[in-house]
Structure 1
Amino acid sequence: MPFSILEAQDFNESPFSLLERGMLLTVRDGARINTMTVGWGGLGRIWGKNAVYATVRPERHSFSLLEKADSFSFSALPPGREMDDLISYLGRVSGRDEDKIQKSGLTLAFEEGVPYFEEADTVFICRTMAVPRLREEDFLPGMRIMEDWYDGGLHHVFIGEILKILKAGSK
């Protein structure tokens, strides 16, 4: 799918709709590439920069790659049942256990060395700016975050400056 570079001020999709579909965070550390589904994240501005953030648990295979890499992509596949099934598969299966990118049938592409998928309709190419860690003591009293959401390690928040927005079929 041909992509055009979209200026941030021209991006007019709802970040809530994109995240509800599930975004793919794809990272490369040398020859190793992995992708994972992100449902907890967002788009916005921080420190004067357009940014994305994605929460990743240390137990995830992508976490170790993200720690070593300085960039990643945050991509949305077009809506539809087939893509929904792919997003579910990529979130359910670990790249530690199988080559899920190859099995998915998605086509890897690269922008300035950062991997993403040709089948995506929106791609954010990002440089990691910060990785704060969520801590149990930081949750406000009365919040049921720990009871309702956690049975393992707490997420780290990967904050990435948006370097480019690629949009399929746009001019």
Structure 2
Amino acid sequence: MNTFQTITAKEFDYNPFQLIGDEWMLITAEKDGKVNTMTASWGGLGILWNRSVAYAVIRKSRFTKEFVDGADHFSLSFLDHKTYAKELGYLGSVSGKDEDKIKKTGVTVNHEDGVPFIDEASKVLICEKLFVADMKPENFVLPEIDSKFYADKDYHYLYIGGITKILSR
């Protein structure tokens, strides 16, 4: 297991556009003693309700959604993309419903305050689930969003998590 230090949100000095959009993240949660994770490249960081928050979106078809829905907390793990590109790609394209994809990729699950995260990460956000909403087509202001990103009608759900801890190596 790797050694992490706890840092504050003010000390988390990373560009979220690069970190999430280019490096990607793993959304990880536990349900009934089983852990699942998925790669995501859409999300963000900010301030809401006077708290540091992270948000992520998960399509309704994703197996990981069941885990995040069944948990009070989830984590966002950021791995070095150059080193773990193959694993990140696999974890984002194969369903944990069909196989133990965590075991197959060789990444390690660790826990912080009872919340699972991926130990190979360089940065981890431990999040308390605060808000969930489904993205409905009638709420898109620009109609091309629906036709461009949701032709198959597999809409995302928006998850907002209050960041309770940040781990960094």
Superposition TM-score, scaled by structure 2 size: 0.95
Structure 2: give runs of 5+ residues left out of the alignment: none
What CA distance in whole angstroms lies between the structure 1 residues aligned with 2:107 and 2:153? Answer: 30
What CA distance in whole angstroms lies between the structure 2 residues aligned with 1:79 and 1:164? Answer: 22
What CA distance in whole angstroms lies between the structure 2 residues aligned with 1:102 and 1:63? Answer: 19
Q: What is residue 128 of structure 2 aligned with on the other side? A: 127
Q: What is residue 145 of structure 1 aligned with on the other side? A: 145
Identical amino acids, percent of aligned pairs: 39
* Contact 2:126-2:163 at 8 Å conserved across structures: yes
What CA distance in whole angstroms lies between the structure 1 residues aligned with 2:120 and 2:6? Answer: 16
Corresponding letter in the other structure for 1:149: F
What CA distance in whole angstroms lies between the structure 1 residues aligned with 2:24 and 2:30? Answer: 20
The 3-state SS of whatever aligns with 1:119 is: coil
Q: Runs of 4 or more off by more than 3 Å in structure 1? A: none
The 3-state SS of whatever aligns with 1:91 is: helix
State how 1:52-91 maps to structure 2 within 5 Å.
52-80=54-82, 82-91=83-92
Q: What is residue 159 of structure 2 aligned with on the other side? A: 158
What CA distance in whole angstroms lies between the structure 2 residues aligned with 1:102 and 1:79? Answer: 19
State the Cα distance separating 1:152 from its structure 2 match.
2.9
State the Cα distance separating 1:108 from its structure 2 match.
1.0
What CA distance in whole angstroms lies between the structure 1 residues aligned with 2:32 and 2:165? Answer: 21
Choose the corresponding residue for 2:38, options 33, 36, 39: 36
The 3-state SS of whatever aligns with 2:95 is: coil
The 3-state SS of whatever aligns with 2:104 is: helix
Question: Deviations 1:112-135 (Å, cap 9, x if unpaired)?
Answer: 111111110000000000001111
Question: Deviations 1:139-167 (Å, cap 9, x if unpaired)?
Answer: 114x4111111113211101100000000
What CA distance in whole angstroms lies between the structure 2 residues aligned with 1:110 and 1:66? Answer: 15
Aligned length: 166
Corresponding letter in the other structure for 1:166: L
Q: CA RMSD in A?
A: 1.0
Question: Deviations 1:7-56 (Å, cap 9, x if unpaired)?
Answer: 11111111111112110000001211100011111111111110010001
The 3-state SS of whatever aligns with 2:155 is: coil
The 3-state SS of whatever aligns with 1:132 is: strand
Structure 1: give runs of 5+ residues left out of the alignment: none
Superposition TM-score, scaled by structure 1 size: 0.94
What CA distance in whole angstroms lies between the structure 1 residues aligned with 2:65 and 2:49? Answer: 24
What CA distance in whole angstroms lies between the structure 2 residues aligned with 1:123 and 1:72? Answer: 10
